[in-house]
């Protein structure tokens, strides 16, 4: 007695068709890329496709280039900035004190804009 499921153990696209059903594969070329950690990655591209200058290293995530002697430098990671750090970039201490005094004066006079 069967379970009534004729495609049990199969998946979409599975079968004995092979390349005859899907068509011929495009000619491929493998290109080596090296990252700053000297990891080599060899993705394949269609022979008539444009090969990119940079490729992400699958091992460490750094950018990789085709020149083994001079791989691309790792990107600079800037540290996390707080809101206060961004405010200090836009305002001088003198401006900050003037704004603070203005707000305190409004509170003292009970003329708060809030």
Give the pLDDT of the chain (114 residues) as one tens digit per residue: 555 555 566 666 666 655 556 677 889 999 999 999 999 999 999 999 999 999 999 999 999 999 999 999 998 888 889 998 888 888 888 988 998 899 898 888 876 556
Residue 83 assigned ligand-binding role = no
Residues in the chain: 114
CATH class label, 28-65? mainly beta
Residue 39 is labelled as binding a ligand: yes
57 is in an annotated binding site: yes
33 annotated to bind ligand: no
Residue 2 φ/ψ region, left for φ over 0, alpha for ψ in the -120 to 50 degree band, beta for the rest: beta
- Residue 12 makes CB contacts below 8 A (sequence gap 6+) with none
- Supply the pLDDT for residue 110: 78
- Domain map of the chain by residue range? 28-65, 79-113
Model's pTM, two decimal places? Answer: 0.53
Are residues 47 and 29 in contact, defined by beta-carbon separation less than 8 angstroms?
A: yes
Residue 44 pLDDT: 94
Give per-residue pLDDT as tens, 19-37: 556 677 889 999 999 999 9
């Amino acid at each position: 007695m069967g379970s009534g499921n004729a495609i049990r153990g199969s998946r979409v696209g599975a079968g004995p068709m092979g390349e005859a059903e899907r068509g011929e594969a495009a000619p491929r070329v493998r290109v080596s890329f090296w990252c700053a950690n000297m990891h080599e990655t060899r993705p394949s591209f269609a022979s008539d496709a444009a090969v990119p200058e940079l490729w992400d290293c699958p091992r460490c995530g750094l950018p990789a280039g085709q020149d083994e002697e001079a791989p691309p430098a790792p990107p600079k990671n800037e540290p996390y900035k707080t809101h206060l750090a961004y405010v200090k970039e836009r305002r001088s201490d003198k401006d900050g004190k003037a704004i603070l005094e203005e707000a305190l004066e409004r509170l003292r006079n009970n003329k708060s804009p809030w």
